[in-house]
């Protein structure tokens, strides 16, 4: 992915992020210094929206375009309409809530994240980001804070990719990396014939709102998210500014063998894809330790279904992660070598596909600096270990993220947790980041 | 399983099976000597019924109580009604077609097998047995062969257990090893909420026919089946008499770990059930080679579904096979030790269940002898390496099986194959076996 920030001039100072950056806050008085949200209201929203969930004790299971996703979307629509926002839904279901600024010729400053969760996920991943955006809009209105640029709160569709693959389903269309047709055709991870398009249609969330940056440009994109690792916790900080991300790549390996009777077929000579896949999965674990990265098998599907068949086809979906781009690529190459080796051992054939690939990178320095100054002493610089919709918007506009401390770094689990005060700090930092960026825009225009 | 043959007296001679057995054929003239079926008609039936299949190039996928199972059942009903049979369907869908004998006070001699197949199965496993029974009834009628005991051709429901677990779904009810309620509650291997009962109801195959041996006793049960291994092929024989079976046990191991984010969670400290299952599966392969038995993982299901979750629950369904009962039990114990070891390594918990257990055993000697004499020079003695409905009937009545040569021993695969002449030899041997047993009954009654 390429950074899109070259069009923005830097003021030439070194910020807390350690990057050369501008220092607009030192030149202009800002409303950002004293801004704070209503943390109690945000906390109530977090728990209120968590009720729209499939069975998931302690957590939230709200899969893209399921009934609960529809409910939380309807609620979000009602909240932003009550604020007087201009509301749109686009063809891939993403919700936009725009509030006027004092100069509506400027592209709006966006605050976005996602309401969809993984299966047996938590209350915070995604939802916190959208609810912080909503809380900022509410607090700005209550506190009569008016930005020069318009603002837009965004609920991006299918960030997780947990029901329909691939993830970042709508923001990649917005960034020109995918198409509406491809996003609609996203297939079910559980093998059902439903697609993201058919399910969005079913819940009434295929709209005529803007689909791409070109149709609806933004000045910047800011996103609050739980950290999902432990840097903030270890540093004793409630929030952080996200400087960039580690690299990650998803692969699919499909092994093809031979059908046979589970009881009667001799051991030697079998072409058992599940035994091949077992050795392949073990090799991925070893690979991660050898390379100082991480690897996870996220899905294994084998067939034929039954209680008396040698498994003649097995699909293994996995991801590898590394902070270094070359090492990330090497992990993929070595994984493929393992697939070849187990295929030779078990006389299998295999297909190999790289489905998503993201080299490590950095967010836009001037946007990161806005977040860093918004965090102040409450924060530190951090890096995300996974993908977010902000990686899509970064291709088109200055982008940065606010991290909120995660207890024990646990996420994608019912045990996911961030304290009330930390969530409020995150929302306040989001509002301040937006105000900082609005100041920056004003400075740039002069 | 206990043999049920102690009520039958043996004549005290040693048969070709090497067992002490009776020698009625040497005392009584039999119609069996010259009997032969119409092999062309049988071959046509095999190919005609193979059309009732889901997509399965070259083979047959006709899962219990699916649309194709309904079609082949309807066809079988029409065929036996055309022969003048008394036709019944019982509560678990098994079809009975009874033809009078000259002494209808005798329990009928049964010929049974099953029309259901595994997914991506072949044309012969199961269907051949029912079609041979039908062919014997037709040929007896054409050749004016009348038995003393009535005859019954049976299509047992859900022998395979490929759609609904457990297998032998109806014959175990017949033998008093299960209940109608339990069989109806048999759950889908693909995790769907459908049950065998709901699907049998849907296709209209829950009837009021006899469910148990006590309601509908039989004098004996004979079954033609493809060998599914290579003893006959190696010996250059088209058919065989089945002396007994090897032992086999099915287990379910369910590993429980911890949810977590696939990208962000550190490698060390994960409680990843799929990595535990991978090592467990590999250990089962090693175990089979160490013990001189066989093992097969027939299903692996993990969750949560999604592209970004550490898999917190994984179910492994597998079977172990051994010709020696003690070794079979030891394989189960060692597999459980492996499950404990990988659970300790990955900090998992696990549930362990033995779902089906069958020690090695022998069919009824006098019934086997009837088959052995029916096979004559065309056959040899063999053993089956898997379960059949005949293992259920054996608990209640003298039982034996006829094997038909399988090309390369392949079954549960589209490549499953037996030659036309071999199938005809199997059907002729079935008819002769029935005639031999009918003679035996007459001899016993004197």
Average pLDDT over residues A142-152: 97
When the pLDDT of each residue in chain B is averaged and rounded to a whole number, the result is: 92
Residue A144 near residue A184 (C-beta atoms within 8 A): no
pLDDT digit string, tens, across residues B158-193: 999 999 999 999 999 999 999 999 999 999 988 889
Each residue's pLDDT tens digit, A53-86: 998 888 999 999 999 999 999 999 999 999 999 9
Distance CA A203, CA A63 (A): 12
Tokens linked to B116? 């259901």
pLDDT tens per residue across span B189-242: 888 899 999 999 999 999 999 999 999 999 999 999 999 999 999 999 999 999
Size of interface A-B (CB pairs under 8 A): 252
Whether residue B285 lies within 8 A of chain A, CB to CB, comes out as yes
Spell out the domain ranges in chain B.
5-245+361-445, 247-358
| A218-247 average pLDDT score | 97
Q: Quick one: average pLDDT of A386-394? A: 96
Contacts of A55 in chain B (CB under 8 A): none
**What confidence tens digit (pLDDT) does each residue in A104-137 have?**
999 999 999 999 999 999 999 999 999 999 999 9
pLDDT digits (tens, 9 = 90+) for B245-298: 999 999 999 999 999 999 999 999 999 999 999 999 999 999 999 999 999 999
Q: Quick one: pLDDT at residue A387? A: 94
Q: ipTM score here?
A: 0.87
The tens digit of pLDDT for each residue in B75-101 reads: 999 999 999 999 999 999 999 999 999
Q: Which of residues 165-224 of B touch A (CB under 8 A)?
A: 165-167, 189-190
Q: Give the mean model confidence (pLDDT) for residues A308-332.
A: 97
Out of B190, B260, B307, whose CB is closest to A162?
B307
C-alpha A309/C-alpha A366 separation (Å) is 59
Q: How far is CA A45 from the centre of its chain?
A: 20
Cα separation, A418 vs A47, in Å, equals 12
Instruction: DSSP for A172-209, please give it.
Output: HHHTTSS-HHHHHTPEETTS-S-BHHHHHHHTT---SB
The model's pLDDT over A3-42, given as tens digits with 9 standing for 90+, comes to 222 222 222 222 333 333 344 444 444 677 889 999 999 9
What confidence score (pLDDT) does residue A446 get?
78
- The least confident of A19-28, A336-345, A377-386, B298-307 is A19-28
pLDDT over 70, % of chain A: 93
Q: What is the DSSP string of B227-246?
A: -SSSHHHHHT-SEEEEEEE-
How many other C-beta atoms are found inside a 10 Å radius of the C-beta of residue A21?
23
**What pLDDT shows up at residue A130?**
98
- Residue B33's pLDDT is what? 79
CB contact under 8 A, A261 and B119: no
Predicted local distance difference test score (pLDDT) of residue A262: 96
Q: Is pLDDT above 60 for A254? A: yes
CB atoms within 10 A of CB B235: 14
Tens digit of pLDDT for each residue in B134-157?
A: 999 999 999 999 999 999 999 999
Vertex B291: Cα angle to B289 and B296 (nearest 5): 60
Asked if B119 contacts A305 with a C-beta cutoff of 8 angstroms, the reply is yes
The pLDDT tens digits for B326-355 are 999 999 999 999 999 999 999 999 999 999
- B3-38, pLDDT tens digit by residue? 222 222 222 222 333 333 344 444 444 677 789 999
Decide if B250 touches A, using CB distance below 8 A. Answer: yes
Chain A interface disruption, residue of B159, B306, B309, B338, most A CBs within 10 A? B306
Quote helix, strand, coil % in chain A, to nearest 5: 35, 25, 40
Q: How open is the CA angle A329-A330-A334, to the nearest 5 degrees?
A: 125
* B55: Cα separation from own chain's centroid: 23
Give residue A56's pLDDT: 82
Q: How far is B89 from chain A (nearest CA, A)?
A: 25
Residue A446, min C-alpha distance to chain B (Å): 42
Of A274, A294, A317, the CB nearest to B297: A274
Q: What is the structure's pLDDT at B30?
A: 61
- Tell how strand A86-89 and strand A95-99 pair up: antiparallel
What pLDDT score was predicted for residue B57? 84
Q: Write the DSSP assignment of B57-112 as a string of letters.
A: TTSB---TTSHHHHHHHHHHHHHHHHTT-EEEEBTT--EEEEE--S-TTSPPEEEE
Question: Distance of CA A262 to CAs A20, A312, A395, B232, B349, Å?
Answer: 64, 11, 51, 20, 27
Q: Is the peptide bond before A166 cis (omega within 30 degrees of 0)?
A: yes
B contacts of A296 (beta carbons < 8 Å): 262-263, 265, 272, 310
Residue A307: predicted pLDDT: 85
The pLDDT value recorded for residue B34 is: 85
pLDDT interval class at A230 (50, 70, 90): very high
Residues in chain B: 446
- Option in A120, A260, A272 nearest B304 (CB): A120
Cβ burial of A4 (10 Å; 0-12, 13-18, 19+) is: middle
Question: Would an 8 Å CB–CB cutoff place B26 in contact with chain A?
Answer: no
Residue B248 forms contact with A (CB below 8 Å): yes
Fold of B247-358: Alpha-Beta Plaits (3.30.70)
Residues B269, B348: contact at Cβ < 8 Å?
no
Cα–Cα dist A400/B92, whole Å: 63
Q: What is the pLDDT of residue A30?
A: 61
DSSP conformation letters of A288-356: HHHHTSEEEEEEEEEES-SSSB---EEEEEEEEEESSHHHHHHHHHHHHHHHHHHHHHHT-EEEEEEEE
In A, minimum Cα distance to B263 occurs at: A386
B304/A119 touch (CB, cutoff 8 Å), yes or no: yes
Q: What does the pLDDT average to over A177-188?
A: 96
**Mean pLDDT across A378-394:** 96
Cα separation values, B388 from A343, B94, B168, B384, Å: 33, 15, 7, 9
Q: Which residue of A has its CA nearest to B165?
A: A307
The CATH architecture assigned to B5-245+361-445 reads 3-Layer(aba) Sandwich (3.40)
User: Residue B5's closest CA among B356, B370, B446, B359?
Assistant: B370
Cβ contact A162–B410 (<8 Å) = no
Q: What is the pLDDT of residue B389?
A: 97
């Amino acid at each position: 992915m390429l950074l899109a920030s070259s069009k923005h001039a830097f003021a030439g100072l070194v910020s807390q992020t350690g990057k050369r950056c501008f220092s607009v806050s030192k030149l202009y008085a800002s409303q950002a210094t004293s801004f704070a949200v209503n943390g109690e209201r945000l906390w109530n929203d977090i728990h209120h929206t968590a009720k729209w969930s499939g069975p998931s004790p302690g957590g939230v299971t709200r899969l893209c375009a399921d009934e609960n996703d529809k409910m939380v979307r309807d609620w979000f629509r009602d909240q932003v309409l009550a604020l007087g926002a201009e509301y749109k839904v686009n063809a891939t279901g993403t919700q936009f809530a725009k509030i006027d600024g004092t100069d509506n010729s400027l592209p709006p400053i966006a605050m976005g994240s996602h309401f969809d969760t993984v299966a047996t996920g938590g209350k915070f991943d995604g939802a916190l980001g959208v609810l912080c955006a909503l809380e900022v809009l509410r607090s700005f209105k209550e506190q009569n804070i008016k930005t020069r640029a318009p603002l837009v709160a965004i609920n991006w569709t299918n960030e997780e990719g947990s029901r329909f693959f691939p993830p970042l389903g709508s923001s990649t269309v917005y960034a020109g990396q995918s198409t509406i047709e491809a996003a609609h055709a996203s297939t079910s991870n559980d093998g059902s014939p439903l697609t993201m398009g058919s399910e969005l249609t079913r819940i009434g969330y295929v709209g005529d709102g803007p689909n791409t940056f070109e149709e609806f440009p933004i000045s910047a994109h800011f996103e609050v998210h739980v950290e999902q690792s432990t840097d903030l916790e270890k540093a004793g900080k409630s929030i952080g500014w996200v400087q960039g991300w580690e690299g990650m790549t998803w692969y699919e390996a499909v092994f093809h063998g031979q059908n046979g009777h589970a009881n009667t077929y001799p051991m030697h000579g079998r072409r058992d894809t599940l035994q091949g896949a077992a050795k392949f999965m073990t090799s991925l674990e070893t690979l991660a330790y050898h390379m100082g990265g991480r690897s996870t098998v996220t899905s294994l599907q084998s067939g034929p279904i039954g209680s008396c068949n040698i498994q003649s086809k097995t699909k293994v979906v996995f991801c590898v992660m590394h902070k270094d781009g070359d090492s990330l690529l090497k992990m993929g190459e070595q994984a493929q070598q393992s697939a070849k080796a187990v295929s030779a051992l078990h006389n299998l054939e295999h297909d190999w596909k790289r489905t998503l690939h993201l080299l490590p990178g950095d967010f836009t320095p001037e946007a990161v600096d806005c977040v860093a100054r918004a965090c102040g002493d409450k924060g530190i610089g951090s890096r995300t270990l996974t993908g977010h919709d902000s990686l899509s918007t970064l291709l088109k506009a200055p982008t940065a993220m606010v991290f909120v401390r995660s207890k024990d770094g646990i996420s994608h689990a019912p045990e996911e947790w961030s304290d009330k005060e930390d969530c409020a700090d995150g929302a306040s930092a989001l509002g301040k980041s937006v105000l900082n960026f609005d100041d920056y825009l004003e400075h740039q225009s002069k």
